Structure 1
Amino acid sequence: MNTTHTILTGDRPTGPLHLGHYVGSLRQRVSLQHQYRQFILIADLQGLTDNGSNPQKVSANILEVMADYLAAGIDPTKTMICLQSALPALAELSALYMNIVTVARVARNPTVKNEIAQKGFSRALPVGFMAYPISQAADITAFQADRIPVGDDQLPMIEQTNEIVHKMNNLTGAPVLRHCQALLSPVSRLPGIDGSAKMSKSLGNTLLLSASEQDIHRAVSAMYTDPDHLRVSDPGRVEGNVVFTYLDACHPDPHKVAQMKAHYQQGGLGDRACKDELENCLQTLLAPIRARRAQFAGESDALLALLKQGSEAARDITQQTLDAVKRGLGLPVLW
């Protein structure tokens, strides 16, 4: 294993993981764990930034997400899985970073601006949500992670993290924190099964990793194609066609997908045939994940033990970073 680079990824436990998570990052994490030192953070505190009045939604999904990780192929002997709220150094680093980041800088972050608009917060915007880019920076730097698998919509977060690293290293006079760079997935985001926006738990347009055969069939059958492709013989458009977007993201044979696209564009390939190909692909992809998840879902004590084990190890690692930052700032480290 190459220990030169350290990977950090994570998810908010606000619901079970879906196909968008898998193709956007989770599939990449399964591969990266065999090459690099990797940490995965279940970000329950970040999940509370827009669920503060409903904490049960977050707490109830922590082990659900843990089961999804294992079912998708994350190996806890190769990847350290930990819980954000179990690592007090993260909150303290966030508090330190808040003193070197202005409100105006956070407000300019396009990812934050888009999410605030999407969630319709207006003046009811929670302080925690506004500041979550700073919390993310604390997560990344606490683990000294330098490679972050993200979608392109998260690039502003990486930029802001590196600004904080630069400022803090200047203040301490030493490179106590590492700069990081994004690892973009070939599929940065997956549209929802309704064809609008991206696949999102909050929008209810997801296909869960635990989806049944019937769930997959219904989702594919309802997918948006080309509304002008009225007859099989008509030329069709693949741009904006959700079925082909999913085929690009999930099909194991890109050459076959390219042939289907050419056939569809010239006419002679029907929507039903395209959907049948996609359904077969998704059934094959999700069946083993669903089966493994069913086994893990009934083992809450074992899941909790694995999460505790990873969190205990991560606590020491993150505390070391916090102590280095505090010493660099001239703050006492009492224990």
Structure 2
Amino acid sequence: MFAERVLSGMRPTGSLHLGHYHGVLKNWIKLQHEYPCLFFVADWHALTTQYDDPQGIEKATWDMIIDWLAAGVDPEKATLFIQSQVPEHAELHLLCSMMTPLGWLERVPTYKDQQEKMSGKDLTTYGFLGYPLLMSADILIYRADKVPVGEDQIPHVEFTRELARRFNHMYGREPGFEEKAKEAVARLGSKNKRSFEHLRTRFQQDGDKEAVAKGRALLAELPQLSADDRERLLGYLEGTGKTILVEPGYLLTEASKMPGLDGQKMSKSYNNTITLREDAASVTQKIKRMPTDTQRVRRTDPGEPDRCPVWQLHQVYSDAECKGWVQKGCRSAGIGCIECKQPVIDGILREQAPMQERAQKYLDQPALVRDIIAEGNRKAGVLARETMRDVRAAMGLNYA
């Protein structure tokens, strides 16, 4: 059996904004206290669309990592690394490409969607077509069983599950698998043998998925089983083979509720962001310049918070008392828009203060960041090599 493990990555886009913090990083910080976590910079993924202009990737990578650390991602609790510095990602991607049907890649929902959104860029490349497979290799190389994703990314996890299942079915059957599995069943003892065979029949003949869960639970209660027999029996139960690549599950994360300065989703493409480490003067100026209720022309005109982008920021940064003050003051013209914006400014600066403080240490001593990533690359490499040892052996590429 494999250990619980969370994996998540981000493309290097440079300095991160508050939308990244509320949409991804706060969740990472929570997860690092609950599971062994690996968080990586997906620099190869950046090349799938930025292949013709890669010069900024390295700087963007270091800027982004400092933001991770500033936000509270703890290298003592999570492994931080750079994808391209663990070459086993590429090897697993290559080997999986040998047995991945082309149709699987073409039906990934984001494939055509991204081509339409980036119509000005030539994306008729194998790298772009194959990026879901590279994403799967990123997950499978660490045998990660938990991947935090938004709803739009669930198809990528399902793709990865199908890929792992196909790989295990094709390559997980060691010579004499059936005979060895039956011998392992015989060693269960008469009562457990009958239960196991009944559950196997229920799943393989009737498609009863509950039988798989019960079969797994039965085997988990038998500590006398060897690790090899346990793997064989799990494969025999499900009609696959020995588990070489782990089928991941997903941890569904809520979409970021962080609005941008114009009321749309905060995004660099909309030019409506506030970065995690933006200085106080810039934050103050940006919030003061935010548009408000367009129907409130004069200070004495009553307004409607639901029409105002600033009100959306109050949903993130203000408590119930402050929000009540805004609702009453805006609708009665008791407060002006500048007054209404001040609690938002205060809330953002309060949130940023510990980030600025944590970041300063790494800005003053860049070698600290390099050391963290070097150690993370090393730890990730150990796990990746363990997986590739089993993958190579299963595919007949173990020449030792």
The two structures have a TM-score, normalised by structure 2, of 0.73
- Aligned equivalent of 1:208: 275
- Aligned equivalent of 1:151: 150
Separation of aligned partners in 1, 2:327 and 2:99: 53
Name the amino acid aligned to 1:174.
Answer: K
Q: Which moved more, 1:211-220 or 1:264-273?
A: 264-273
Task: Please say if 1:175 is aligned against 2:243.
Answer: yes
- Aligned equivalent of 1:326: 392
Separation of aligned partners in 2, 1:325 and 1:6: 19
Q: Is the 8 A contact 1:237 1:264 kept in 2?
A: no
- Aligned equivalent of 1:7: 6
Separation of aligned partners in 2, 1:207 and 1:125: 34
Aligned to 1:41, the other structure's residue is in SS state strand
Q: Structure 1 residues 230 and 165, CA, compared in 2 at 3 Å: closer, same or farther?
A: farther
Aligned to 2:37, the other structure's residue is in SS state strand
| Structure 1 stretches of 4+ moved >6 Å | none
Task: Please say if 1:184 is aligned against 2:183.
Answer: no
- Aligned equivalent of 2:179: none
The 5 Å alignment of 1:120-269 reads 120-121=119-120, 123-171=122-170, 172=172, 173-188=241-256, 190-196=258-264, 198-230=265-297, 234=302, 236=304, 238=306, 241-249=308-316, 251=317, 253=319, 255-256=320-321, 259=324, 263=328, 268=333
- Aligned equivalent of 2:202: none
Separation of aligned partners in 1, 2:323 and 2:169: 51
Q: Is the 8 A contact 1:152 1:188 kept in 2?
A: no
Q: Structure 1 residues 272 and 62, CA, compared in 2 at 3 Å: closer, same or farther?
A: same
1:51-83 deviation line (CA, Å, top 9, x unaligned): 222222101122212211111111111111011
Aligned to 2:81, the other structure's residue is in SS state strand
Identical aligned pairs, as a percentage? 29
Aligned to 2:55, the other structure's residue is in SS state helix
Q: Which moved more, 1:285-294 or 1:269-278?
A: 269-278
Separation of aligned partners in 1, 2:289 and 2:164: 46
- Aligned equivalent of 2:181: none
Task: Please say if 1:77 is aligned against 2:114.
Answer: no
1:28-55 deviation line (CA, Å, top 9, x unaligned): 1112111110111111111222222222
1:287 deviation in Å?
Answer: 1.9
Task: Please say if 1:306 is aligned against 2:372.
Answer: yes
Q: Is the 8 A contact 2:318 2:344 kept in 1?
A: no
Q: Structure 1 residues 32 and 126, CA, compared in 2 at 3 Å: closer, same or farther?
A: same
Q: Structure 1 residues 131 and 193, CA, compared in 2 at 3 Å: closer, same or farther?
A: farther
Task: Please say if 1:317 is aligned against 2:383.
Answer: yes
Name the amino acid aligned to 1:182.
Answer: Y
1:147-201 deviation line (CA, Å, top 9, x unaligned): 22223332232222222222222223222222323323344364433334x4334
Separation of aligned partners in 2, 1:245 and 1:107: 38
Q: Which moved more, 1:152-161 or 1:264-273?
A: 264-273
Aligned to 1:238, the other structure's residue is in SS state helix
Name the amino acid aligned to 2:50.
Answer: N
Name the amino acid aligned to 1:297.
Answer: L
Aligned to 1:283, the other structure's residue is in SS state helix
The structure with the largest alpha-carbon Rg is 2
- Aligned equivalent of 1:283: 349
Separation of aligned partners in 1, 2:113 and 2:322: 33
Name the amino acid aligned to 1:188.
Answer: S
Q: Is the 8 A contact 1:49 1:128 kept in 2?
A: yes
Q: Structure 1 residues 264 and 27, CA, compared in 2 at 3 Å: closer, same or farther?
A: farther
Which sections of structure 2, spanning at least 5 residues, go unmatched? 173-240
1:108 deviation in Å?
Answer: 3.0
Aligned to 1:60, the other structure's residue is in SS state helix
Name the amino acid aligned to 1:311.
Answer: N
Q: Is the 8 A contact 2:318 2:343 kept in 1?
A: no
1:238 deviation in Å?
Answer: 2.7
1:104-139 deviation line (CA, Å, top 9, x unaligned): 433333333333322224544443223211111111
